[in-house]
Structure 1
Amino acid sequence: MDVRRGGEGGDGRRRAGGDFAGAAVVDRAFAVLRAFDAEHRALGLAELSRRTGLPRSTALRMARRLVAAGALERRGDGRYVIGLGLLEIATLAPRGHGLRAVAMPYLEDLFHVIRRHVLLAVLDEEEALLVERLSAPEAGPVRFRVGGRMPLHAGGAGLVLLAFAPAATQERALRRFTAGESVDALRDAEDLRRLLAEVRRGDYAVGSRSLPYPRATAAAPVRGPSGAVVAALSVVGPLDGFDPSAWIPAVRATARAVSRRLAEDEVPE
């Protein structure tokens, strides 16, 4: 990822004190923050420079500014980690922690009944962003973490979000679809198109997947005050002894309860 041209004019010249210069600072700050992920939680200066494409001097300057702002913290070994200042700000996001706060009591009720993974995800650009996950040891492995991203076609929650996503987003997903990357019933893009139509008609998604490990899922949409789909609630469990269709009523009822509460609290969409 090369962000060195961010905030420059077409001829590469920066306008001192102008919009381009300000945009460059913001772009570079976010490039530094996005260099961190689940596999790279602590980064040294050389790693920051390499992962952002910024010169070492620029990466160091941005890191120092972010430390001063509380967005990064510098450990004793000189490496940088995400700071608590970002968590403090992130809790104000209505589609993240705001949604989670409203949904949590209902997710917990569902979790205690089924003892499987319960996921809550929102659409972010063209991916599903996981905002909550409740898990039990007997629920089996799951790849995704809270704050992590999932391809929209990868599981029940993503398929629900994709079914109600803008038409342009759906068409791009259909063009990129590859068999084996979604539930087993989908062999090609036309299968996916038909499944998305079924999700819209039935207001739920259900399916199973053999790889990378056998699991099944049932999911339903969560709607905001306007009736638009703002999130997807899903249950994921091992195929052995787990019939996802049996959990559709409970999943849909939970999603509807969260939707009603969002409308009552007028949580922004």
Structure 2
Amino acid sequence: MRPEADAGRSVTSKVLAILGAFEDGPHSQPLTQLADAAGIPLSTAHRLVGELVEWGALEKGPDARYTVGLRLWEVAQQGGRQLRDAARPYLQDLFLLTNETTHLAIREGHEALYIDRVYSSKRVPRASRVGGRLPLHATAVGKVLLAYEEPWLQHAYLERDLETPTTRTHVNPRWLQRELAQVREQGYAITVEEVRAGSCSIAVPVFAASGAAPASIGLVMLAGQADQMSRYLPVLNGIADRISPAVSRLPQAATRPRQR
């Protein structure tokens, strides 16, 4: 980066760029890699990273590589806490009633952001974690969230260069448009090995009092159980109704007609 270009950036933007290097990059990185990812001089990175380590946002290992610090993790846990705390008992109920991995997600940009998850003991291939993100079009919760969005937003999303996590991921815009219409009509979405080979999923909307569907809950199970997923719809919808009061307090809960 040219010195004059770096001079025009705020300290905050540089710090955020350093932290952002861990979002999609390796969990452990040397200083040179952080400087390169953030687009800042090595000397600047050395000073800012040192301050982040002192505060606890980053930790320096004996190999001189940096990882996300516990203090930053503690702060991050506050994100979505109100919804997570309210929904957790019901997610646990869903797990006890199905013995399958359960999760709750909301839309964050063009991705499904996983707010909470209860893991089954089954060895189902995992594609994400609490706080993780996956493309909306490749996951059952994501398809639900996208299906209940405004048509203009769906159109804008489908115009993107859609990711293909597996060879079975649906990326044809016309096919996806029809699929989203079907999801909204039937009230649930399913995927089979679209985000991870060996797994399938089913999800339903969690409606707010306004009628919007700002959240979705779902189950993930072995791909061999794909033809059995629909039997869980009654319990999924029942749990979704119980979580509904919590999502009604989300700022994303805009007014749209409720459809199930």
TM-score of the pair, normalised by structure 1: 0.80
What residue number does 1:30 align with?
A: 16
Q: How big is the alpha-carbon RMSD for the aligned residues of Structure 1 and Structure 2?
A: 3.0
Partner AA of 1:66 in structure 2: L
Give 1:43 shift.
1.6
Q: How many residues align?
A: 251
Can you list the C-alpha shifts for 1:5-53, whole angstroms capped at 9, x where unaligned? 9xx8xxx595xxxxx65xx211111110111147612222112122222
Change in 2 beyond 3 A, CA 1:220/1:183: farther
Which one of 117, 135, 143 corresponds to residue 101 of structure 2? Answer: 117
Q: How many angstroms apart in 2 are the aligned matches of 1:145 and 1:87?
A: 14
What residue number does 2:258 align with?
A: none
Change in 2 beyond 3 A, CA 1:58/1:210: closer
Pair 1:170-2:154 in alignment: yes
The answer to which of 52-61 and 197-206 deviates more is 197-206
What residue number does 2:215 align with?
A: 231
The answer to which of 181-190 and 138-147 deviates more is 181-190
Which one of 244, 249, 253 corresponds to residue 259 of structure 1? Answer: 244
Pair 1:54-2:40 in alignment: yes
Within-5 A mapping of 1:23-172: 24-37=10-23, 40-93=26-79, 96-138=80-122, 140-172=124-156
What residue number does 2:235 align with?
A: 250
Secondary structure of the residue aligned to 1:150 is strand
Q: What 5-or-longer segments of structure 1 have no aligned partner?
A: 15-19
Q: How many angstroms apart in 1 are the aligned matches of 2:150 and 2:162?
A: 20
Partner AA of 2:236 in structure 1: V
TM-score of the pair, normalised by structure 2: 0.83
The answer to which of 142-151 and 153-162 deviates more is 142-151
Quick check: 1:180–1:187 contact (8 Å CA) kept in 2? yes
Give 1:153 shift.
0.5
Partner AA of 1:255 in structure 2: A
Q: How many angstroms apart in 2 are the aligned matches of 1:239 and 1:178?
A: 23
Change in 2 beyond 3 A, CA 1:185/1:194: farther
Quick check: 1:100–1:132 contact (8 Å CA) kept in 2? yes
The answer to which of 202-211 and 226-235 deviates more is 202-211
Q: How many angstroms apart in 1 are the aligned matches of 2:43 and 2:200?
A: 49
% same residue: 33
Change in 2 beyond 3 A, CA 1:54/1:196: same
Give 1:62 shift.
1.6
Q: How many angstroms apart in 1 are the aligned matches of 2:39 and 2:247?
A: 42
Q: How many angstroms apart in 2 are the aligned matches of 1:104 and 1:184?
A: 31
Quick check: 1:160–1:204 contact (8 Å CA) kept in 2? yes
Give 1:63 shift.
0.8
Secondary structure of the residue aligned to 1:157 is helix
Q: How many angstroms apart in 1 are the aligned matches of 2:115 and 2:150?
A: 21
Partner AA of 2:33 in structure 1: E
Give 1:79 shift.
2.2
